[in-house]
Amino acid sequence: MNNYFEKKLICFTKVAFAIIIVAIAIIITAYLWPISKLQTPVVFERTIIKNVNIVDVATGEVAANQFVLIEQSRIINIDTAQITASDDALIIDGTGKFLIPGLWDMHTHSNQYSEWLHHPLYIANGVTVVRDMSGQLNEKDSYWVGSKERLQWNKDLENNTRVTPRYVLQSSYQMDGEKAIPEDAPNFFKLNTSRQVDSLLQFYKKENVDFIKVYQQLPKEMYELLALKAPEYGLHLAGHKPMFLSLEEAVNLGQKSFEHGRVFMYECFPEADSLKSPDHWKAYFSKSKAKIVHQFDSVQAKTLMRLMQQEKAYWTPTLQTLKFEANAHKNEFADNENLKYVTSVRKQLWWKYDTDHNKEKNLKSEGLSVSEQFFEASKKQVAMAHRMGVPIMAGTDVTDSYVFAGFSLHDELYELTSSGLTNLEALQSATMVPATYSDAIEDYGTIEIGKKADLILLNKNPLQDINNTKSIKGVLLNGVYYDEEKLTELKGFTESAAGSFHMNVKTLVSLLNSPLIRVQFAD
């Protein structure tokens, strides 16, 4: 009898071992499996858009029945008279259509698989420029990308060898104190001493980075030194307002842009100083969100907004993140048709946790949840800040939960209008305002002779309804035309990639291998 069971055990062990070996082989094969690449559209030396209505995003006027001549990547002529076409020119019929500048998303996060999972969706949605708010340390990361990758993507765009949006203003890795840095990274990234500040800035200057991404747990003294020394290296600060100093201090120290809709919420209530304690702020915040909403001091907020206006500090509210927190418990929100563009790995390991966590909190509330109230209050502050002259930039926080590359930028424009901005002002937040912020208004942000041909051809007028930014007929990026057929191909490409087994394996392995991801989750 014992021999029988021994044989059974040996047999079972062999089968189990064989299954493990096969599973490992499948995973390795999937990880190494090559991913197909998109072909860029054909390049025409000359492109003519005929009889189109041009939306002037500076004035809100519409110039009817215009002819636009593009040579290579720039707008050469705009005229009411028909422009003579050469035999080799691409002719685009703009009759009854509306032409606007390409849209900018000023808060995104790209990774090593953005070429397949994000870039096609940006372009399919008319998002021609993005600002990536993440980066790397001294070594290439398996998940996050850095300035080297993004600058190469920009070169490939200019050469028409890659389907990618432009990446404007290169970011460092997030500076969030020692806990956010892997132990074996060079010590200067940990910013424990004042001497390390210059080493950090020297490193990122050599990496062709434009700004230091500051995060919420960066010690006050290190933030102050970064703010004072960064301009000496041609760098600026952008990102979160660190918890341990006031917004007034951060603005006066020259931080150029502030991210997320909670900026004023955290500053303008009677016990705001309790959030500035390095030892107690997390515990205090978890218990005080309702108090932050209900005791909001609009007089203090207006004072801070006036300061931001005077110091030319920009605000990117990323309302999509607060919208998710407010609506995670609603089936009509959670059952989003764009989920097909997201890998199962991200949905199950990342988004599901966020959704379940926020859903549980919201369902415990009677009436409007605190998260819903927080969202609505933040929208009111966007309108208030805009009236006070704070420059507002559209941004979404791709790849946060339920934020979809490209698609969510249109949702953000809608939320900005529902906050109180006009359709024109919302358009400006995604065109000329970010172009001005980026010192790129000479080349982008409006439709003018001499500027780069990053353009969107719409079927409907966005000045009448901001949702008309979704009515995309075609996209010109660097003067290259993506027609309706190509835009459909881009969406199908990402849907197929996101649903493939090998892409999910690659994504999972890259996440597990990333020391930066590990410390982020540990914190």
Whether residue 305 is found in the same domain as residue 255: yes
Low-confidence winner among 60-64, 132-136, 284-288, 319-323 (lowest mean pLDDT): 284-288
CATH of the domain at 73: 2.30.40.10
- Report the number of distinct structural domains present in the chain: 2
Q: How many CB atoms lie within 10 A of CB 203?
A: 17
**Higher pLDDT pick, 86 / 17:** 86
366: alpha, beta or left, given left = phi > 0 and alpha = psi -120 to 50?
beta
Whether residue 20 has pLDDT greater than 90: no
Whether residue 473 has pLDDT greater than 70: yes
Whether residue 91 is found in the same domain as residue 110: no
What is the pLDDT confidence band of residue 18, given thresholds at 50, 70 and 90? low
Render pLDDT for 415-452 as a digit per residue (tens, 0 to 9): 999 999 999 999 999 999 999 999 999 999 999 999 99
Q: What pLDDT shows up at residue 286?
A: 61
Backbone angles phi, psi at 299, to 5 degrees: -65, -45
Whether residue 95 is found in the same domain as residue 147: no
Whether residue 158 is found in the same domain as residue 90: no
With respect to residue 403, please indicate whether it lies within any of the assigned structural domains. yes
With respect to residue 44, please indicate whether it lies within any of the assigned structural domains. no
Say what percent of the chain tops pLDDT 70: 91
State how far the Cα of 282 lies from the Cα of 110, in Å rounded to an integer. Answer: 28
Whether residue 116 is found in the same domain as residue 255: yes
Render pLDDT for 360-402 as a digit per residue (tens, 0 to 9): 888 877 778 889 999 999 999 999 999 999 999 999 999 999 9
pLDDT mean across residues, the chain? 92
With respect to residue 4, please indicate whether it lies within any of the assigned structural domains. no
Domain, as residue range, for 70: 53-100+451-487
pTM given for the model: 0.94
With respect to residue 295, please indicate whether it lies within any of the assigned structural domains. yes
Distance set, CA 133 to CA 157, 251, 309, 518 (Å): 20, 19, 23, 18
Mean pLDDT on 39-61 = 96
With respect to residue 28, please indicate whether it lies within any of the assigned structural domains. no
What is the pLDDT confidence band of residue 350, given thresholds at 50, 70 and 90? confident
With respect to residue 311, please indicate whether it lies within any of the assigned structural domains. yes
What is the pLDDT confidence band of residue 30, given thresholds at 50, 70 and 90? low
State how far the Cα of 189 lies from the Cα of 177, in Å rounded to an integer. Answer: 8
Low-confidence winner among 21-30, 110-119, 290-299 (lowest mean pLDDT): 21-30
Mean pLDDT on 490-495 = 98
List of residues 6+ apart from 49 with CB closer than 8 A: 66, 67, 68, 70, 92, 94, 99, 455, 457
Low-confidence winner among 174-188, 196-210, 282-296 (lowest mean pLDDT): 282-296
Q: What pLDDT shows up at residue 428?
A: 98
Whether residue 188 is found in the same domain as residue 293: yes
Q: What pLDDT shows up at residue 269?
A: 87
Render pLDDT for 292-329 as a digit per residue (tens, 0 to 9): 888 999 999 999 999 999 999 999 999 999 999 999 99
**Higher pLDDT pick, 478 / 11:** 478
Whether residue 293 is found in the same domain as residue 431: yes
Whether residue 363 is found in the same domain as residue 275: yes
Whether residue 390 is found in the same domain as residue 339: yes
With respect to residue 402, please indicate whether it lies within any of the assigned structural domains. yes
- 158: three-class secondary structure by DSSP: helix
With respect to residue 289, please indicate whether it lies within any of the assigned structural domains. yes
Whether residue 428 is found in the same domain as residue 469: no
Helix axes of 370-387 and 298-310: crossing angle, nearest 10 degrees: 50
Whether residue 261 is found in the same domain as residue 341: yes
CATH of the domain at 202: 3.20.20.140
In this structure, what token pair is assigned to residue 491?
Answer: 């969406």
Whether residue 231 is found in the same domain as residue 94: no
State how far the Cα of 182 lies from the Cα of 521, in Å rounded to an integer. Answer: 12
Render pLDDT for 124-135 as a digit per residue (tens, 0 to 9): 999 999 999 999
> Which residues sit opposite 151 in a β-bridge?
none
